[in-house]
Structure formats: structure tokens, C-alpha cells
Amino acid sequence: MANLNKVMLIGRLTRDPEMILTDKGVKFGFAVNNSKKDPATGQWVDEPVFIDCEMWNREPSFQATRLCQTVRKGQQLFIEGRLRLDTWEDKNGGGKRQALKVVVEAFQYLEPKADGVEGAAPRGAYQQQPPQRQSAPMSRPPAQARQTTPANDDYDTPMGAPAAGSGYDGSNDGNDIPF
């Protein structure tokens, strides 16, 4: 039988991310809301679910370092990862304890910064930068050098709108339906 362990969540950070294990990973709190109808009032109420998350640096992206440098408490993110069950013995003799965590493999910013760029302002307290990847830059011809054809102009037309020069004037006499 096949197994699948995949989590995709949209929510907000409940605390600032903090580096763990000498800058190899980051841990943070995450909250998502479940909406349910209150039987007493009939109103929809948000019920928060709090989740502990961790993310590890993997070459070449060093996403955990980037996450720690660019996001803050309260910021909305999309995270994708897998579930992991941690078990340990309680220090105070309380027996065996368990906690379910999300190991984040990828994330996306869902809110723009004030200046229009995704993510939050870099954290000043964190000074170490991830190693830079050595690769040749991709070359792409400048916009003026690219040829424009009528087929390429169609991509600039909003979805559902007729393309320029298509001969369609917007009227519908019922004879243009293909079935």
C-alpha cells in the first residue's frame, strides 16, 4: 500500500523564526484558522490551530536562512512540507511525551513588503550570509531585441478579451457557437 505524507498550509507566524543547531535550521510557530459555525449564535467563528514548524538548510537554496532573515511574527505564508512525530521522556517523570511537527520543505511569501517586494525587511541581528552559488549568469536578449509577432501580442490580452486584429467585434448573434 502506498503512503503519502504531504502538508500544505496557509497561515501566519506566531513568533519570529529562530535559528537552531548553529545556523543549519530554523524553528517557528505557525497558526491556521478553521472556521466553524457556532450553534448558539449561528455565526461563523474562526478556531485557530497552532503548529510547531522547522525548516533545514539544503543546498543550493539555503531556504531556512532566507526564511529567518525575511519573515516576522504575524506575516502570512504558504508552507509545504511533511509531518513528523517527535517523542521524548519528560524531565519531571511525567512519562513519554509526543508532539507532531511540520518539517517545511518550501515556502512562499503571501504579503508584499511596504516597498512592493515580497518578504519582510532583513533582520539586522543576523549577520551570516549563506554561501553564494558559483554559476554562469543566464543570458537573455533585451526586450527591444526580441521580435514581436501577432501571436506574441495575444499574451498581453486579458483572458476572455478578443485579441487585437482578430476581427471579433464583441457582438454575439448566436452563430459563432461551435456546437
The C-alpha atoms of residue 13 and residue 119 are separated, in whole angstroms, by 13
H helices of 23-167, where?
Answer: 63-70, 150-153
The C-alpha atoms of residue 172 and residue 5 are separated, in whole angstroms, by 50
Nearest to 83 by CA among 105, 62, 64: 105
Residue 90: its pLDDT value, please? 86
Q: Could you read off the pLDDT of 84-113 as tens digits, one per residue? A: 999 988 888 878 999 999 999 999 999 876
Q: What is the model's pTM? A: 0.59
* Confidence class for position 157, pLDDT limits 50, 70, 90: very low
**Over the chain, what is the mean pLDDT?**
74
What is the domain partition of the chain in residue ranges?
A: 1-28+46-61+77-100
* Confidence class for position 147, pLDDT limits 50, 70, 90: very low
Mean pLDDT of 130-148: 45
Q: Could you read off the pLDDT of 41-75 as tens digits, one per residue? A: 999 999 999 999 999 988 777 888 888 889 999 99
More confident residue, 171 or 79: 79
Nearest to 17 by CA among 119, 93, 99, 90: 119
What is residue 162's DSSP assignment?
Answer: P
pLDDT above 80 for 133: no
Residue 91: its pLDDT value, please? 85
Taking phi over 0 as left and psi of -120 to 50 as alpha, with beta for the rest, 160 belongs to: left
